[in-house]
Amino acid sequence: MAEPKKLFIKTYGCQMNVYDSERMAEAMGGEGYVRTERPEDADMILLNTCHIREKAAEKVYSELGRFRPLKAEKPDLKIGVAGCVAQAEGAEIMARQPLVDLVVGPQSYHRLPELTAKATAGEKALDTDFPEEDKFEHLKSRPRVKRGPTAFLTVQEGCDKFCAFCVVPYTRGAEVSRPADRVIAEARDLVERGVREITLLGQNVNAYHGHEGGLAGLIRDLAGIDGLERIRFTTSHPNDMDDALIAAHGEVEKLMPYLHLPVQAGSDRILKAMNRKHTAEAYIRLIERIRAARPDLLLSGDFIVGFPGETEADFQATLDLVETVGYGQAYSFKYSPRPGTPAAEKAHVDAAEADARLQRLQALLNRQQKAAQDAMVGRDVHVLFEKPGRLPGQMVGKSEYLHAVHADADDVTMGDIRKVRIVRSNSNSLAGEILWA
């Protein structure tokens, strides 16, 4: 019996790319491929790319260059580029790196087997269309294998917001929602294979409209699945945080008290330039309403500093918003232009000034994150244990608030949810003692 072919996938970027990579591996599994962690062993290498971070395309070309010796040693090795850089660069990737055999966009990866067949026949294969068919329905079923206790589940793709700094509408297309019955069926399948927590994914997940009750309606239906203990969702836009979803945070026990709700800036002038279509005051009032529904909510956010035209006063408004809201977690970045977006053509803030502002913002956010973690000491939380810790007998998992928690747990197995008392706050995690009673 011939050995199976080996597939190496390197994933860049967000959780949606992690999910996409899983599905691509499943699609290729139907063609006789098994995953390997070593590119040296692979018969096919796929780079699943992200276009959000600075110089994303150049990093992909650099990575491809490192595979040139492998291609020389193994002429039958197939190399592909998938994801958002593939969508944005298209045929340019093959022109700049002739060792690439196939390029596939994020909406076409269900066609990966036929593209691979084309590449195997000696042709260059390119597909960056936005097909009308549902790629999820065209993918082969997930193999019936045991899963870890947590899983991502894409329910929505694309974005119609057209923020001035963002390439997502161009690389992922318009907002599309998966039908609720298909999402629920996939969730049931995941639970049957050991998953206890599902994170619903979307570029703008709270714009989900595949259920008559929106994302809140989907969450309430998912909460009825026996064995599914926890539900999360990311990433959201403030303008789509409707009353029903706010109510769900207070009423659905399985919906965890953690919310990632990016604001990007605290200056109304900059928010308008970003085409965010909300004000800082509207965002703050929205947070107040959500916290009224779920007082123990831990809030996470995204911030961009140094956006074109940002003044010191604009930046101070962002610091003021952060002080007002209080974040338990946050992600902050210096603006970098994305070709084809409106902001890319505008005059940039001095790089040194943008660097200095980013350091000031991150210092404030780090203080808030540490304060939120320190405040957990002495509290009881419920931890879903996911893997062994560094020390013998130790297990690591996540609390309701998405804090990493480690505890001595000799008789705890992966997937158990236990009540834990937090005894110490570390730099990026919490230490706890399991309460057996």
Which DSSP state fits 255? B
Count CB atoms within 10 A of the CB of residue 189. Answer: 14
Which DSSP state fits 111? G
Which DSSP state fits 41? G
Q: Helix, strand, coil shares of the chain as percentages rounded to 5?
A: 40, 25, 40
Take residue 98 and report the two structure tokens written for it: 């002739």
Which DSSP state fits 124? -
Could you tell me if 124 and 38 are in contact, meaning their C-beta atoms sit under 8 angstroms apart? no
Whether residue 255 is annotated as binding a ligand: the answer is no
Task: Give the strand pairing for 404-408 and 380-388.
Answer: unpaired
Whether residue 84 is annotated as binding a ligand: the answer is yes
Q: Find the angle CA(203)-CA(209)-CA(214) to the nearest 5 degrees.
A: 105
Please report which residue ranges of 294-400 form alpha helices under DSSP H: 312-325, 351-374
DSSP string, 387-403: EE-SSTTEEEEE-TT--
Cis peptide before 235 (omega within 30 of 0): yes
What are phi and psi for residue 56, nearest 5 degrees?
Answer: -60, -45
**Is 297 in a helix, a strand, or coil?**
coil
Take residue 429 and report the two structure tokens written for it: 């995690």
Whether residue 38 is annotated as binding a ligand: the answer is no
Could you tell me if 169 and 159 are in contact, meaning their C-beta atoms sit under 8 angstroms apart? yes
CA-closest candidate to residue 306, choices 346, 360, 269, 350 = 350
Residues whose CB is less than 8 angstroms from the CB of residue 333 and which lie 6 or more positions away in sequence, other chains included: 53, 302, 303, 304, 305, 358
Whether residue 308 is annotated as binding a ligand: the answer is no
Whether residue 253 is annotated as binding a ligand: the answer is no
d(CA 155, CA 267): 32
Distances (CA, A) of 258 to 85, 151, 213, 395: 30, 16, 21, 22
Whether residue 108 is annotated as binding a ligand: the answer is no
**Is 354 in a helix, a strand, or coil?**
helix
Cα dihedral: 215, 221, 224, 226 (round 10): -80
Question: How large is the C-alpha radius of gyration of the chain?
Answer: 23
Backbone angle region of 363, left / alpha / beta, with phi > 0 → left and psi within -120 to 50 → alpha:
alpha
Q: Residue ranges for the binding site?
A: 14, 50, 84, 159, 163, 166
Binding-site positions for [4Fe-4S] cluster read 14, 50, 84, 159, 163, 166
